[in-house]
Amino acid sequence: MTYRAPVSDFQFIFQHVVGFDAVLESGTFPDLDAETAYAILEEAGKLTTDAIAPLDRGGDLNPAVLKDGVVVTSPGFAQAMEQVAEGGWIGMLASEENGGMGLPLSVATAVNEMMSGACLSLSLQPLMTQGQIEALEHHASDEMKALYIPKLISGEWCGTMNLTESGAGSDVGALRTKAERNEDGTYAITGQKIFITWGDNDFCENVCHLVLARLPDGVPGTKGISLFMVPKFLPTADGGVGDANALKVVSLEHKLGIHGSPTCVMDYDGATGWLVGEEHQGMKCMFTMMNNARLGVGVQGVGIAEAATQKALAYAEDRVQGRSPIGREGAGIIDHADVRRMVATMKADTFVARSIALACGVALDLGRSNPDQLARGNFLIPVAKAFSTDIGHEVAQTGVQVHGGMGYIEETGAAQYARDARITSIYEGTNGIQAMDFVGRKLMDDGDAAFALLDEIESFAEQARATLPNRAKAVWSAAETLREGVEAMIALPMNDRFAGAVPYLRAFARVLGGYYHLKAAMAEGGDGPRSRLAAFYINRMLPEYAALLTQARLGAADIYAISPEDLAF
């Protein structure tokens, strides 16, 4: 089977779980109503199901290659990207005054998840361009906006981000790429960047690179970094493409997965660049787009989880092995308790990750005019990124297990999801870094954002007691215990917080999952497929939060008690 976009699930979550109506009623998007929003999701579902999903396997088997200095992309990718561009999907978030759709982030997040689930390798290409458009809208000069943004939205040109260098990794401040001022107001950029997603292709007439580099008077560390636009071809006066710039693709990385996405090593040899924003303010420019980029990566994990779950369920229903222990004649292995447990776990966690991501998008949409909602959206970003990508990886691995020995055979396609998902936990700051942000910056308000969310969960659980007393009680108790966990985390020294950051973030996500599953069950009146899945989650998966909080509170002493020499025995 191939991927089918879960449009109905998005609509249900928007209507009953994350409060999307508040976005429509906020006045921020006056030309958007529910009917239009859901029609957009339907159209995105058709595109991803019919045009993009069929390319996923081919992209894995026939990856992008570097030939004579030019990247040759996987078969069908160019045609699919033409459809993506013609539909206006690249400019979903761009302002209408710049030719974009001006959609809410929550809607764009749903669309990006569908694209990721259909073909993660291909989806990364428009995602990079979306991020570049956002950075330009906030920081570029009017002349640069007028030149680049329409071309990027149309798909004629595309964008990349060039941050990482060999030896620097997540420590962007250690970069060595240098920028020198030219007499004509441009800059000469020299250096090498690695891990550049979609650093080149054979279907856009120009590839526009946002490059972080340091001017001669830039101070060490992140405060001395500037951001530059460095296109593959120099723009002409009339907005066309002129001479080739002094840059090239050195090689393509040989990766575990996402083979259809060309990940490039880029070399700049005095390439002509234009300053974006102010000198030495490059990180400020990049952080403008960081929230959206991290949310975008989070739904990559959700998309993979959805696709892996669909494939596992189809296989488990079709594969007959032994007799059904519950007496269904000719039933597949889905009737075996452990297989049913695995697929239910995949489904339940995919729902949680999707709900967290969409709740984050809704909060950031509302945050345009509501500071409290902006604080909530920022608070949820590391959870949406880290939990969702961890779940993408875990669900894909479980999908292989459901297939048994056939899951280890590449022909089934189950292993591709496991390989493709792995990078998402590393993209845009590793999940450990996300967890450290969650216990560090995100608790600098003394827990106000966390406590406000927990107040909401407990209030809803109280209302749900009359209909679903046992499930409501479990969710309320989990939220109250988590409240104590937040207080305990705030009291710890920072490095002790860091030692427990990963289990703490997972505990928070587990409790959010109980809340969202409870809301889904209540929307059904406590009886229906979502209610039964909610009971499964609340009974079997939610209780993990207690053990996770125990780990989170332990501090760092026992970790550092183990020396590197101890680990070498």
With CA atoms as reference, report the closest residue to 419 among 390, 398, 396.
Answer: 396
Cross-strand pairs, 276? 227
Kindly report the three-state secondary structure assignment for every residue of 294-331.
HHHHHHHHHHHHHHHHHHHHHHHHHCCCCCCCCCCCCC
CA–CA distance, 74 with 120 (Å, rounded to integer): 13
Written as six digits, the tokens of 11 are 């609509």
Count of beta carbons in the 10 Å neighbourhood of residue 495 = 12
Cα separations in angstroms, 267 against 66, 170, 262: 14, 19, 15
For tokens 């959700």, name the residue. Answer: 302
User: What is the signed CA dihedral for 149, 150, 154, 155, rounded to 10 degrees?
Assistant: -40
List, as one string, the DSSP characters of 145-203: HHHHHHHHHHTSEEEEEE---TTTTT-GGG---EEEE-TTS-EEEEEEEEEEET---SS
Q: 527-564 burial by CB neighbour count: b if 16+ within 10 A, else e?
A: eeebbebbbbbbeebbebbeebbeebbebbeeeeeeee
Q: Are 224 and 175 in contact (CB under 8 A)?
A: no
| Active-site pick, 134, 137, 165, 428 | 428
Structure tokens at 136: 């330009």
Active site residue 43: no
Residue with tokens 């490095």: 495
Task: Kindly state the tokens that stand for 31.
Answer: 């030309």
Calculated CA dihedral for residues 208, 212, 218, 224, nearest 10 degrees: 130
Tokens of 271: 């390439």
Q: What is the largest CA-CA distance in the chain?
A: 82
Residue among 354, 268, 340 at smallest CA distance from 307:
354
The residues assigned a catalytic role are 428
